[in-house]
Amino acid sequence: MTHASETGGATTRRGQEHFVAPVDETPLQAVDALNTDVKPRSLWSQAWRDLRRNPMFIVSAVLIAVVVTVAAFPQLFSSLDPYAQGACRLTNSYGDPIPGHPFGFDQQGCDVYSRVIYGARPSVIVGVVTTLGVFLLGGVIGALAGWFGGWIDAILSRLTDVFFAIPLILAAIVVGQLFELNALTLAMILILFGWTAIARIARGSVMSVMNSEFITASKALGASSSQNLFRHVVPNAVAPVIVTAMVNLGMYIVLEATLSFLGVGLPESTISWGADISNAQTGLYTRPELLFYPSGALAITILSFIMLGDAVRDALDPKTKKR
C-alpha cells in the first residue's frame, strides 16, 4: 500500500513528506546572524585565554616565579652568603640542622640551605639564556631556509645537519675545556651547538605557512614579499618554534647540572646544584638527605618549566590542543 499525493505533478510517498518551517517563525537572518561588533580573537589572544584557564599553567607559572625570584634575589631567602669568606667551617662537617641552618651542613661544613638558594642562579641563567639564544639563532636560520628555498635552503639545511650530528653534551665538554667557564659562557656553547632542532621546526613551519591559501590571496592583492613575511608568515609560523623552545628549556637546565655533576661544567667556585649533588655522594650512607635538597630543587625547577612548556603547547599547537 502506498500513499501518494500530487503537488505540482510530483508524487510524495509515505515517509517522504518534507516539512519546512514558515519563514516568519525562523527567519534565516536570525539563524545566520553574525555579530560584527565583536572583534575576532587572534591566535595569541585565544592562546592567552586558554592559558589563564589551564591549572597546569597557573601552577607552573607560580613555581617559575618563585624560582626566578630566588635566583634573582637570593639574599631575600638566606641571610648567609655562601660565597663569603669563612662561610664554611670544617668544625661543622656533616652537622645536624640547627636554628638558622634548617638543612644542616655538608662535608666541608657549608650551610646546605644557603647553597641550595644560591645554586638556583646559574641554572636559571643557563636555561633562560640558552633558550633565548637557540630561539633567535635557530629561528632565523630555519626561517631563511624555508623562505628563500633553492640553494640557500640547501646550504643552510646541510649546515644544520652537520651541527645536528654533534652530540650536545659532548660538544659542551670538549669546547668547554677551551674557556674559563661561567654561566654565560656555558650558555653560549650550548647555543652554538643546540640551535638545530629549532631551525628544523622553523623551516618546516615557514614552508607550511607559505603554501597556505591566505598567502596566495595576499600576493594576488599586491602585497610585497617583505609584507607577507612580517605580517603573515612570521606571526603564523612562530608558534611551533615557541612551543619547542619552551619544552627544551628544562633540558638545558639538566645539561648544566649534568656537566657540573661530572666536574666539567661550572668551576668549583660557582655554587651549582649539579656540583652539590656530586659532593653529596660522599655522605650518601651517613647523611643521605643532603643529596635530596639540591636534587629536589633541581627537580622542581625542571618540572615547572616542563609543565609550562606543555601548557603553552596545548594553547598554541592546534594538533595537540585538548578539547
Q: Is the pLDDT of residue 46 over 60?
A: yes
Tens digit of pLDDT for each residue in 261-315?
988 888 888 899 999 999 888 888 888 888 999 999 999 999 999 899 888 888 8
Alpha carbon 20 to its chain's center: 54
Say which CATH architecture domain 120-270 belongs to: Orthogonal Bundle (1.10)
* Cα 181 to Cα 269: distance, rounded to the nearest angstrom: 11
- Position 114 scores a pLDDT of 92
Nearest alpha carbon to residue 256 among 311, 189, 307, 156: 189
What ranges in the chain are assigned the alpha helix state H? Answer: 28-31, 43-52, 55-72, 112-118, 120-148, 150-164, 168-176, 183-194, 196-210, 213-220, 225-228, 234-262, 273-279, 289-316
Do the beta carbons of residue 45 and residue 296 sit within 8 Å?
A: no
Looking at per-residue pLDDT, the higher value among 178 and 6 belongs to: 178
**Residue 45 CB neighbour total at 10 angstroms:** 11
Global confidence as pTM: 0.80
Nearest alpha carbon to residue 322 among 42, 63, 56, 61: 56
Q: Is the pLDDT of residue 73 over 80?
A: yes
- Position 8 scores a pLDDT of 46
- Position 70 scores a pLDDT of 94
* Cα 157 to Cα 92: distance, rounded to the nearest angstrom: 57
* Cα 163 to Cα 168: distance, rounded to the nearest angstrom: 9
Tens digit of pLDDT for each residue in 220-231?
877 777 777 777
Give CB contacts under 8 A, 24+ apart, made by 71-74.
71/120, 71/121, 71/123, 71/124, 71/125, 72/121, 74/117, 74/118, 74/120, 74/121
- Position 232 scores a pLDDT of 79
Q: Is the pLDDT of residue 316 over 80?
A: no
C-alpha cell at 261: 655533576
**Least confident piece of the model among 7-11, 36-40, 151-155:** 7-11
Q: How confident is the model at residue 140 (pLDDT cuts 50, 70, 90)?
A: very high
Percent residues over pLDDT 90 in the chain: 35
